[in-house]
Amino acid sequence: MFGTLFLPLLVLATIAILLASAVLSAGESTCTVVRKSFWCPLKKLHVTVTFLADSFRRDEYRDVLSCIAFQDRTRVSCDKHCLDLPEPRLAPASYEEATTSAGA
């Protein structure tokens, strides 16, 4: 009797564990790294910044991981206002588009 119930119970237990794991991890957000180049109005130069972004909403940046405006790129010592700028959230422009619009 135990042998005939063992396999279905094992399958049900596995499914229950997988569902519980999915439900518990659904509330956790994951992050990804996004690199953008744009004009920094504070430093008055074109910068490349590495952002820590939400994996599900890549236009929602959480932190600045590095910026070429600083000698040590990983020690970003400004107020990180680029987290609030609309420009970094846009799709990166090609080099030709950037130089054409800058010269106009």
Tens of pLDDT, residue by residue over 8-40, are 888 888 999 888 777 766 666 678 888 999 888
What is the mean pLDDT of the segment spanning 94-103? 46
pLDDT for residue 99 is more than 80: no
pTM: 0.57
pLDDT at 96: 47
| Residue of 60 and 104 predicted with greater confidence | 60
Tens of pLDDT, residue by residue over 53-86, are 887 776 788 999 999 999 999 999 899 998 988 8
What are the distances in angstroms from CA 36 to CA 25, 58, 82?
Answer: 29, 12, 11
